[in-house]
Amino acid sequence: MAIQEQFDECYTIENNQEALACLKDMVKSSTGSCRPKLVLLTQGNCIPCRDEKSLHKADIATGVIQEVGIDSPEGLEIIAKNGIDSIPALLFLDCNNNLLNPSV
């Protein structure tokens, strides 16, 4: 099944925790050279970012969620490409750092 189709299936799940678990499963089970990823955009002096990092601590530690600082080259690229204007932001991106949006 294509990444977009899998993403759309996760998106249709009404329970937020179950939908996030679905996305995490996609990240864990993806193979090939262009795999999707979950990225948590944060900033060092951001209290809500600290709370969000704490909430996802286990997934960050295992690499299921990648924490990316907004001031890093990757963070700046993600923000510019996708028009992100608030943090923290948990994003589902393709391998080229493009935000995946539901097609449904």
The mean pLDDT of 72-99, rounded to a whole number, is 96
Q: What is the 3-state secondary structure (H, E, C) of the chain?
A: CCHHHHHHHHHCCCCHHHHHHHHHHHHHHCCCCCCCEEEEEECCCCHHHHHHHHHCHHHHHHCCEEEEECCCHHHHHHHHHHCCCCCCEEEEECCCCCECCCCC
Q: Which domain holds residue 40?
A: 3-93
One-letter amino acid for residue 84 of the chain? I
pLDDT (tens digit per residue) in 10-29: 999 999 999 999 999 999 99
CATH number of 57's domain? 3.40.30
Q: Please state the length of the chain.
A: 104
Specify if 101 maps to a domain: no
pLDDT of residue 7: 93
Is 55 among the domain residues? yes
**Mean pLDDT throughout 79-89?**
96
Q: How many domains does the chain have?
A: 1
Does the residue 102 lie in any domain?
no
| Domain-located, residue 23 | yes
Q: Angle CA(40)–CA(20)–CA(62) in degrees, nearest 5?
A: 55
Q: Quick one: pLDDT at residue 104?
A: 63
Residue 103 in domain: no
The string of pLDDT tens digits covering residues 22-77 is: 999 999 999 888 899 999 999 989 999 999 999 999 999 999 999 999 999 999 99
Residue 1: band (very low, low, confident or very high) from pLDDT cuts 50, 70, 90: low
| Residue 67, domain member (yes or no) | yes
